[in-house]
């Protein structure tokens, strides 16, 4: 491709609202443009990368007998009613009506549609297992679209779904998909880590997220040298070693006026006590009944863990009036001391069902918390003497200082960008959508399912986030939009264009893709653009090199440039091809 005729509008400056490195570089390198919040156009250079990633994904899924399909993005409400997700999905689901007032949504995912497709045409165990996948646009009306195509509203996803006769078969295929994902991200040239994940609203019972390691990632990962790795939303923590304190050292309980101080930060600053001394008190409604959860002041409560401990189907933060009814005070002033006697009967809620305390509170002595009185906190709180929870559990989000649940060594924390996720779904969707088959005993049973997503457009951005420098992008060769930049210097000088054409033809003959900068531009402009676009290899043809019968070869990721004899070009390119495993 000749640059003089290529739609590549590079920019000196990124738009002011570009909020991370990859989106800045994608704009500047002429890969994308913004149409509306979270909605992007992909220009030719960008699309070439997207297609490279797509092809790698397709090849690896085909290797494990995946079969590609193409599903509609406009999906009827009735199907979503069958799984109950029309109500549950909330505002992220973009709903639309046709001219007959029938309701539809724009696909955020496709469990309903694919399960409907399979229930229609698969009826016997002999037709199982099957792995179906598609590439397509998804729309999620994200509350805060950001980081360009990384958290967009419309994005490009590969979604795969597998259907099995047994749980055991689903487990075997889960491993196959996991392996395919490893191959995909390795081939894309990414540093990534599969981590245990919470299955969230998709449901199911086992899940992994594939994280591209990057300091700017939105997800936090807890890692241990023993190999344990999990999203901090999911990571379990080992109970810390017991600490005991002589009860004679317990301070007396005392109420302190703390007017208008609702947060742990405010109160600990005012009392001149460490946040780790705070007993953070939160109320939730678990399937409609109030529960109290206590975590240490420097920890965040993890709602998924709490929901599991309570075996609750639904858990929501309690509204203010529940605090008033159960603790007799506003949120921010509730605490565990004597809580069960604070209930005000006759208000529109039941009494407190249970009090769950995080393990870490076993190590808090002379703590402080709300006094169950407006504008008041209590200091000198001690477990056993002043409060006794109904149960202890791990209910906080893994944090600095926490120990690995497997080997009890301290976690290391890293940040990551979630590029893919795999789920074992069990029979969640096949039951609600009645996707059944006849087993060997001629009994009708629901299929066991798995689903597996990859954010193809997010993967492109993640690759840039992980590999760039002050000049621009540094593409891994496998997903680069072209492999070579061919830069002709002073195109009007004699022999430059004809020799460049010869190099261009040789590169193609050797099986490489090339973007040839044949423009009538200053060398500085050409080198800047080449570095910005970040193709892995660059060849420069100039009067200076030609007089020695040579060209200049440089890798984008390295500083040193080499001289290559033009006559040796075919040999050099053959060597490079071998080195790249092409």
Binding site for ligand ATP (CB under 6 A): 109, 140, 142, 150-152, 155, 157, 418-421, 453, 455, 457-458
In the bound state with ligand ATP, the residue whose beta carbon lies nearer, of 83 and 421, is: 421
Structure tokens at 410: 């301290």
- Report the alpha-carbon distance of residue 75 to residue 123 in Å, rounded: 23
Size, binding site for Mg ion by CB under 5 A: 1
Structure-token match 């096949």, residue found? 430
Residues 136-165, mask of contacts with Mg ion (x by CB under 5 A): ------------------------------
Residue 222 binds what, of Mg ion, ligand ATP, none (CB under 5 to 8 Å, by partner type)? none
In the bound state with Mg ion, the residue whose beta carbon lies nearer, of 421 and 467, is: 421
In the bound state with Mg ion, the residue whose beta carbon lies nearer, of 355 and 451, is: 451
Burial class (CB in 10 A: 0-12, 13-18, 19+), 512: buried
Residue 211 binds what, of Mg ion, ligand ATP, none (CB under 5 to 8 Å, by partner type)? none
- Report the alpha-carbon distance of residue 576 to residue 582 in Å, rounded: 9
Q: In this structure, are residues 253 and 386 in contact, taking their beta carbons and an 8 Å threshold?
A: yes
Residues 393-432, mask of contacts with Mg ion (x by CB under 5 A): ----------------------------x-----------
In the bound state with ligand ATP, the residue whose beta carbon lies nearer, of 145 and 297, is: 145
In the bound state with Mg ion, the residue whose beta carbon lies nearer, of 421 and 500, is: 421
- Nearest approach in angstroms of CB 454 to Mg ion is 10
Residue 142 binds what, of ligand ATP, Mg ion, none (CB under 5 to 8 Å, by partner type)? ligand ATP
Residue 233 binds what, of ligand ATP, Mg ion, none (CB under 5 to 8 Å, by partner type)? none
In the bound state with ligand ATP, the residue whose beta carbon lies nearer, of 203 and 297, is: 203
- Report the alpha-carbon distance of residue 180 to residue 63 in Å, rounded: 8
In the bound state with ligand ATP, the residue whose beta carbon lies nearer, of 451 and 503, is: 451
Diameter over CA atoms, the chain: 96
Structure-token match 């076993």, residue found? 362
- Nearest approach in angstroms of CB 566 to ligand ATP is 44
Question: Nearest-CA neighbor of 428 among 235, 128, 207?
Answer: 207
Going by the DSSP 8-state scheme, the letter that residue 256 receives in this structure is E
In the bound state with ligand ATP, the residue whose beta carbon lies nearer, of 457 and 545, is: 457
What pairing do the DSSP bridges indicate for beta strands 192-196 and 206-213?
Answer: antiparallel
- Nearest approach in angstroms of CB 453 to ligand ATP is 3
- Nearest approach in angstroms of CB 204 to ligand ATP is 11
**In the complex, residue closest to ligand ATP by CB:** 455
In the bound state with ligand ATP, the residue whose beta carbon lies nearer, of 140 and 526, is: 140
- Nearest approach in angstroms of CB 214 to Mg ion is 16
- Nearest approach in angstroms of CB 459 to ligand ATP is 7
CA angle, 108 as apex, 102 and 109 as ends, to 5°? 105
CA 41 to chain centre: 22
Secondary structure (3-state) at 544: helix
Helices (H), 166-313: 167-187, 264-271, 303-309
DSSP string over 376-400: EEEEEE-BTTTB--SEEE--B---T
Residue 155 binds what, of Mg ion, ligand ATP, none (CB under 5 to 8 Å, by partner type)? ligand ATP
Residue 458 binds what, of Mg ion, ligand ATP, none (CB under 5 to 8 Å, by partner type)? ligand ATP
DSSP string over 307-338: HHHTT-S-EEEPPHHHHHHHHSS-TTS--STT
Residue 488 binds what, of Mg ion, ligand ATP, none (CB under 5 to 8 Å, by partner type)? none
CA angle, 406 as apex, 403 and 412 as ends, to 5°? 40
In the bound state with Mg ion, the residue whose beta carbon lies nearer, of 115 and 421, is: 421
Residue 203 binds what, of ligand ATP, Mg ion, none (CB under 5 to 8 Å, by partner type)? none
- Nearest approach in angstroms of CB 418 to Mg ion is 5
- Nearest approach in angstroms of CB 262 to Mg ion is 33
- Count CB neighbours of 269 within 10 A: 12
How far, CA to CA in Å, does 80 sit from each of 31, 93, 496? 35, 11, 62
- Nearest approach in angstroms of CB 462 to ligand ATP is 8
- Nearest approach in angstroms of CB 26 to ligand ATP is 13
Strand partners, 95: 105
Question: Nearest-CA neighbor of 29 among 567, 570, 480?
Answer: 480
Which chain residues interact with Mg ion by CB under 5 A? 421
């Amino acid at each position: 491709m000749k640059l003089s005729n290529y739609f590549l509008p590079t920019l000196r400056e990124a738009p002011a609202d570009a909020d991370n490195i990859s989106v800045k570089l994608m704009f500047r390198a002429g890969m994308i443009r913004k149409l509306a919040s979270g909605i992007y156009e992909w220009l030719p250079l960008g699309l070439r990368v997207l297609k490279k990633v797509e092809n790698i994904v397709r090849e690896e899924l085909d290797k494990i007998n995946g079969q590609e399909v193409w599903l509609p993005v406009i999906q009827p409400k009735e199907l979503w009613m069958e799984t109950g997700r029309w109500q549950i999905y909330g505002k992220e689901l973009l709903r639309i009506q046709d001219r007959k007032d029938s309701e539809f949504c724009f696909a955020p995912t496709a469990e309903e549609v694919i399960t409907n497709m399979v229930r229609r045409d698969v009826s016997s165990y002999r037709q199982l297992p099957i792995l179906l996948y598609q590439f397509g646009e998804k729309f999620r009306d994200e509350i805060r679209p950001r980081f360009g195509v990384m958290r967009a509203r419309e994005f490009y996803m590969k979604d795969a779904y597998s259907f099995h006769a047994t749980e055991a078969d689903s487990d075997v295929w889960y491993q196959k998909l996991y392996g395919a994902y490893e191959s995909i991200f390795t081939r894309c040239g990414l540093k990534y880590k599969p981590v245990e994940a919470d299955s969230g609203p998709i449901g199911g019972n086992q899940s992994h997220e594939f994280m591209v390691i990057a300091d700017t990632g939105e997800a936090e990962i807890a890692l241990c040298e023993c190999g344990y790795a999990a999203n901090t939303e999911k990571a379990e923590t080992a109970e810390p070693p017991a600490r005991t304190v002589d009860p004679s050292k317990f301070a007396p309980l005392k109420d302190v006026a703390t007017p208008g101080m609702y947060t742990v930060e405010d109160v600990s600053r005012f009392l001149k006590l460490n946040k780790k001394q705070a007993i953070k008190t939160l109320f939730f409604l678990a399937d409609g009944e109030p529960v109290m959860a206590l975590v240490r002041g420097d920890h965040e409560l993890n709602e998924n863990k709490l929901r599991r401990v309570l075996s609750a189907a639904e858990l929501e933060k309690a509204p203010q009036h529940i605090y008033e009814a159960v603790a007799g005070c506003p949120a921010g002033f509730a605490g565990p001391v004597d809580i069960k006697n604070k209930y005000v009967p006759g208000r529109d809620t039941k009494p407190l069902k249970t009090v769950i305390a995080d393990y870490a509170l076993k190590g808090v002595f002379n703590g402080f918390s709300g006094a169950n009185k407006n504008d008041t906190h209590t200091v000198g709180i001690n477990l056993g003497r002043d409060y006794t929870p109904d149960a202890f559990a791990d209910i906080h989000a893994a944090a600095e200082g926490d120990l690995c649940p497997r080997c009890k060594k301290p976690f290391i924390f890293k940040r990551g960008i979630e590029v893919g996720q795999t789920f074992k779904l069990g029979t969640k969707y096949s039951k609600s959508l009645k996707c059944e088959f006849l087993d060997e005993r001629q009994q009708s049973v629901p299929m066991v399912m798995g689903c597996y997503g990859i954010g193809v457009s997010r993967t492109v951005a993640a690759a840039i986030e992980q590999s760039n420098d002050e000049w621009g992008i540094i593409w891994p060769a496998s997903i680069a939009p072209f492999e070579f930049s061919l830069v002709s210097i002073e195109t009007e000088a004699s022999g430059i264009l004809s020799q460049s054409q010869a190099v261009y033809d040789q590169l193609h003959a050797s099986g490489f893709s090339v973007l040839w900068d044949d423009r009538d531009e200053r060398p500085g402009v050409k080198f800047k653009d080449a570095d910005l676009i970040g193709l892995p290899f660059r060849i420069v043809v100039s009067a200076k090199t030609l007089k020695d019968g040579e060209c200049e070869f440089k890798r984008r990721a390295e500083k040193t440039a080499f001289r290559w004899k033009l006559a040796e070009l075919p040999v050099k390119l053959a060597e490079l091809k071998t080195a790249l495993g092409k």
